[in-house]
Structure formats: structure tokens, C-alpha cells
A and B are shown apart, each in its own frame.
Chain A
Amino acid sequence: MDDKELKSKLEKIKDKLTKIEQTSEKRIFLYCESENSHSVNKYLFEEVPLRFVIATGIDSTSCFEILYHYSCDEIGWIVTLKTFIREREKPTIDSIAPFLPGAEWIEREIHDELGIEFKGHPDMRRLILADDWPEGVYPLRKEVPK
């Protein structure tokens, strides 16, 4: 796969994205809303296909962001899918773990850190927080003092 082929494959899901942005020579960012996250991730992992690297959960005050980082190893690009969860009270997003077991841990971790619910996750136990950590306190949320 070369860069033209990758770009044309990414163009095919344009209607599910809100923006495609190339920030530098080998980095490309895709933006989408949380309801499209599952289908776009499935397309990136199974159809393109890209290698899943990790996901990053961010509390950006007005909303939550989950960044799914993928790597295109043939050309050394990083494709990042940026999804926005606008609902702050009960943030929910579809889990990608059913088709991508490599994402099982990171979804549990983001749930621990930010309290985002992953619908359809096979095993939503705590991963990084201690057993006696209070329920409902999410350490990476902005309201928690550092």
C-alpha cells in the first residue's frame, strides 16, 4: 500500500467523518462523532487494513475525546481517528473489542480513568484502579485535582 492508496481508501468513508486533516508528512487525523466510531474503526481495522496501536481518552472540558491510533506499517504513517462524545453526564460509546481483542484492555483503562461506558465490551472489570478506589471518581477528569 502506498500513500495514494491509503488516502483513497480513507476517502471512501468520508460521509461518516466530519474532517480529514493531514498534520505532517506521515500523520493523518480523521474526525468523527461517537455514533460512527464503531463502523469507522471496523473499516480501518478490517478493510484498509491498519494495525491498531492504542487509544487515548481525553477530557477536553466541553466533551470527551477518544483517539484511536492506527499504524500503516507499509509506509510508516499513523492514522488517528478522533471521536467526540458530547454527552458529559453519561458518556457512552460502542466498544470495538468484539472485533479487536487488542483493544479490550485500553477500553477498560479509559473506563477507569474517565468513566466512559463501552457498550458491548465483553469484560468491563476494572483494569488499573485499585479495588478500594471510590466508585464514580475518575482520576483523569478535569474536575479531579492533580
Chain B
Amino acid sequence: MTKKINLHKPVLAVGPFHPLQEEMEYFQLTVDGEIVTDIDVRISYNHRGMEGISETLQFDQVPYLVSRICGICSASHPLAYVQAVEEICGVKPPERALYVRTIINELERLHSHILWAGLAGHFIGYDTVFMWSWKYREPVLDLLEEITGNRNNYGNVKVGGCREDIQEELKPKILDEMDKLEKKIEMLTKAVLDDPILHMRLKGVGILSKEDGIRYAIAGPTARASGIDIDIRRDDPYAAYGELDWKVISVPEGDVFAKVVVRLLEVLESIKMIRQAVKKLPKGPITAEVKEIPPGEGCGRAEAPRGETFHYVRSDGGNRPVRHKMRAPSYVNVPSFKASCIGEHIADVTITLAAVDPCYSCTERLAVVDGHKNIIHNYEALLKMSRGKTARLKKELGLRELKMEDLRLE
């Protein structure tokens, strides 16, 4: 009998391709009316076998491989890897290299968080936020290009130091861009935190409790928005983070709004860090000499924009790693959907899934299979549902859509 009921449970298939975030993932939501009762996640549509490939490369080739794990975290992965190898061979990179690593990693966090803020705005129908955020993000990418030669896939760290230095004449430009960006982000943060509709739309949605967070071993802004006060930059300081003055942003609520707050405030902290690091940038070489990698094992980790990136490397004294394990933060953050999405409305699932900022992909195809009926929605339908809720809330608040006439000057 129970089985029969199960067969008629409507299943909402979200995925396996996402039109905005260019990776593949498949979410199968079991729904009861508007409410999600279960979620199943399927990954690895695009498995690239990097752990296997890494064993066929030499130690100094691996950073270029791991920077291609993700286009956005392409500074954190190589950094975690080289720190693991530096632990094996006991090499300490020069001071200047540590500062250059810090600046590049914080620039990466800036562009990643701003990108996310834009996407989150887009998902709930705030396209102005989307346009503005992405416009503000552009100068950050330009700075990265000027320092490393690439907007993404910087390939700038190597075992024992860095490949490209920050030129002295670039320092005023970085400081200037940070000043400009700070003003814009402050404005954006105030606009978001003051908006009554965003409060109604995002508060209390997709709550992930601290207890669930610990059981699912979550990391990064997702953890910090659930009151789990962890940040590798402070807890196990690497690069130059130990010498800078900044604070970890952590709030207890665990809902989507908390994740927005954490990320926006982190952007401001990153700007502060970059400014200090550029001013303090010590003189000297940027590489230390590395001879052979002795047998041994090492763990390296870095705080990527989405959370802790962990690399384990084992060497047998040869010129290639015998085992290289990599863990990206989304690997632990994505399974936590089981705790945060169940009991939510379908209209809220888009933003709840996006709030974790997973390197994820889905929603292009949305198929509702209900008994004998077969209703197929597309990506627009999901977006419409999410935006429809925002519009409904606006109406309840007695606010009307802003029209061009309202802006006309007297």
C-alpha cells in the first residue's frame, strides 16, 4: 500500500544542466503540493578524474591542473596543494610571496562573492542587483589580469613561492580600485539590508541549523551563516593572514538572508585585507629554492570563497605524487540541502540551493511528473515562480512596481 502511494508522489526534476552556473548537477525533489518533502542530489556528470591525472604529473605541473578544478576558485586550489607539498619538503616561501598569495586570494574572494550577490538578485527578481554587482566585479578581474596575466586560471602559485610578482607601479591602482569598490559595496549592502521585501523574501527561508551544519560538516560562508564560527584564514593561518587586522563574520540565523549578510560583509573585510597587504608588501624575492620532494605526506588547506579547500598529498620520494586527494567546499555543502530544503516551498528552493553558492548546475529542465499527467516546465517557469513570490510580497506590503514616470523630473 505504502509503495503505491510513493509511486504517485510528484517528483520535480531540477537539472542536470544549469544555464547560469556552468556545471552539471541533478536535484530530484519529491513534493507534496508546494512543499518539498525529500531531495536527492546526483553529481559527477562531468567527472574529470583529476585525482588520477595528478598522479601522472610532476609535482610542479600539478598546480596548473588543480587551478582548472574551478574557474572561480582557481587561486585557492593550487594554494592548498602547494602548502601540502611545502609541508612535505619543509620549504618556507619568502615573505613577499606570502603577501602576493594573500592579495590574489582575497581578490578572488571579492569577485566570487560579488558574482554570487548578482546571481542571487537575479534569482529572486532583482535584476538591478545583478547588473550592478557584475559591473562592480569587472575591475577586480582586470586587476587579477594585470597581476597574473589572466582573468581566471591565474596559475600564479608554485611550490616555494609565486610565479608573478605585484609590480610597484600597480600598487596605487589596486588601492584606488579598492576605495572605489568599497563605496559601491557599502551602498549595495545598505540597499540590501534595508529592503523590507528582501527581509520578507529571504528571512526564515532555507534554515540550516548549527547542529545539522556540524553533522553535515559544512564549511565557509554557509557554516558561518549558521553560527559555526570557522575560518581557516584565522584558525590555521597561512599566507600572510596572521599579520593582517580583520574579523571573521559569523551570524547565528542560518537562513538565506544570513548567507547574504555574511558574504556582503566579507567583501568589505576582504577590501580591508587587500589594502593592508598592499601597503605592507615587503621587499625581496618571491620564490624559495626547492630541491627534491622527500617521501612523506602533507595536508594543505585554504579558505576558498565557498569554504575550506583541503588537499592531501603523499610522496614516495619520486617526482610525482603517489596520491593526491582534493576536496572542494561544495562537496560538503551540497549534501546539507537534505537538511535545509525539506519543508520549504518550491518557489524558495531556487534561492536556497543558490544560497550555498555551490559550484552547481541545474534548473534548465524542470519536469513535474504527477500520476498520469506529464507537465514539463522549463527554466523560465522556475524563475517565474521565484519572482512571483517576490511580486506577491510587494503587493502585500502595498508597494507598487516602480515606473519610469515616477523617475521623471518635475
User: Which residues of A are in contact with B by a Cβ distance under 8 Å?
Assistant: 23-24, 26-27, 51-54, 56, 58, 67, 69, 71, 73-78, 80, 100-106, 113, 127-130, 139-140, 146
Contacts and interface: CB of A to CB of B under 8 A. Distances in A.
A102 B335 contact: yes
A112 to B, nearest CB: 9
A76 B308 contact: no
Interface stretch (B43-51, B144-152, B168-176, B341-349): B43-51
Interface stretch (B63-71, B186-194, B229-237): B229-237
Contact of A105 (B87, B235, B331): B331
A100 B217 contact: yes
- Interface SS majority for chain A: mixed
Nearest to B299: A78
A121 B232 CA distance: 30
B216 A139 contact: no
A4 B297 CA distance: 24
- Interface SS majority for chain B: mixed
Given A26-B236, A73-B235, A127-B44, A58 B314 contact: yes
3 tightest A-B CB contacts, nearest first: A102-B217, A76-B236, A56-B325
A139 B236 contact: no
Contact of A52 (B43, B44, B56, B217): B217
A105 B230 CA distance: 22
A21 B332 CA distance: 28
B251 to A, nearest CB: 17
Contacts of B279: none
A60 to B, nearest CB: 8
Nearest to A29: B297
A73 B230 contact: yes
Give the size range of B's interface with the partner: 35 or more
A52 B237 CA distance: 19
Given A80-B299, A140-B52, A146-B56, A101 B312 contact: no
8 contacts: A74-B235, A75-B235, A76-B237, A101-B215, A128-B43, A129-B47, A139-B52, A146-B56
Nearest to B229: A73
Interface string B300-331: 01000000101010100000000101010001
Instruction: From A54, A80, A100, A106, name the one whose CB has the most chain B CB atoms within 10 angstroms.
Output: A54
A135 B56 CA distance: 24
Contacts of B335: 101-102, 104-105
A111 to B, nearest CB: 13
Contacts of A52: 217
Nearest to A55: B325
Contacts of A53: 217, 301, 308, 310, 327
A101 B216 contact: yes
Nearest to A126: B44
Instruction: From B217, B235, B236, B335, name the one whose CB has the most chain A CB atoms within 10 angstroms.
Output: B217
